[in-house]
Amino acid sequence: MNLILPPQRSRIREDITQAVGDVPIVRLRRVASVCETSSCYLKLESCNPGGSIKEKNATVLVNQAEEAGLLKPGGTIIESSSGNFGIGLAIVGAARGYRVIIVVDAKTTQAFRRMLKAYGAELAEVNEMDASGSMQKARISLATHLAETIPGGWYPCQHYNPNNPDAHALFTAREIEEAFGSELDALVVGVSTGGQMSGLARYLKPRYPNLQLVGVDVQGSVIFDPAPAPYKMTGIGLSFRPPNLDYEAIDKAYVVPENLAYSMCHALA
């Protein structure tokens, strides 16, 4: 018996940026009781080459900067990042020959620092803390100064760049639509810069009029709660309201204590 196999997409990529996206989506069956009565899925963005969804933002923003002439051969990419977006930029920078400087702070883990250096990035550190125990404002200030004083410097500024949501409207949202067709009732997203949530809303809301978009933030961040407090978690939360976040598109929002968030991450793993 001869089997006729469907045509396969080429798995060969010309550079690392083309390997971003197209990650597995897996069904959750045992992590919570809701999984027994509803179909719950997890999109494994950690399967991107550098381990996070932020590589999509890095690739799209660098492509846009190159096309606009903001980033030229021999240029320097500068960004404030607690880890994932910095790693994404370091990966793209290594692939395309750019110098990369990432502004970090005391909350940046040693694992992230080692990864950034392994991908060739240079680290600049700040230690000035604001009311919520965050150093994001100080990081942004230093990144702005470096971009203004280093010849050929380009600062994508993920927190304020209006193009930041593009990566998720162009890629993440379409990947979700391709996977679920018309069967999508709710989407839960951790919120930080607002780029992911806003990009997903821009593409998916017109196609799924009844879709419930749920935002999740960490206690101490002021994205949904105006009362700042110190928190240790990185990669989620902000000490200011993100201008890129489309609050009108969010149907429900939750602020989660850090101990619950860490415990749930362990349970999912």
Please give the positions annotated as active site: 54
Contact call for residues 195 and 165 (beta carbons, < 8 A): yes
Return the DSSP state at 27: E
d(CA 263, CA 247) in angstroms, rounded, equals: 27
Contact call for residues 101 and 146 (beta carbons, < 8 A): yes
> Which residue in the block uniquely carries the two structure tokens 């149907």?
251
Contact call for residues 238 and 215 (beta carbons, < 8 A): no
Residue 203 contacts by C-beta under 8 Å, 6 or more apart in sequence?
Answer: 168, 169, 173, 174, 177
As to burial, measured by CB atoms within 10 angstroms (0-12 exposed, 13-18 middle, 19+ buried), residue 149 is: exposed
d(CA 144, CA 154) in angstroms, rounded, equals: 9
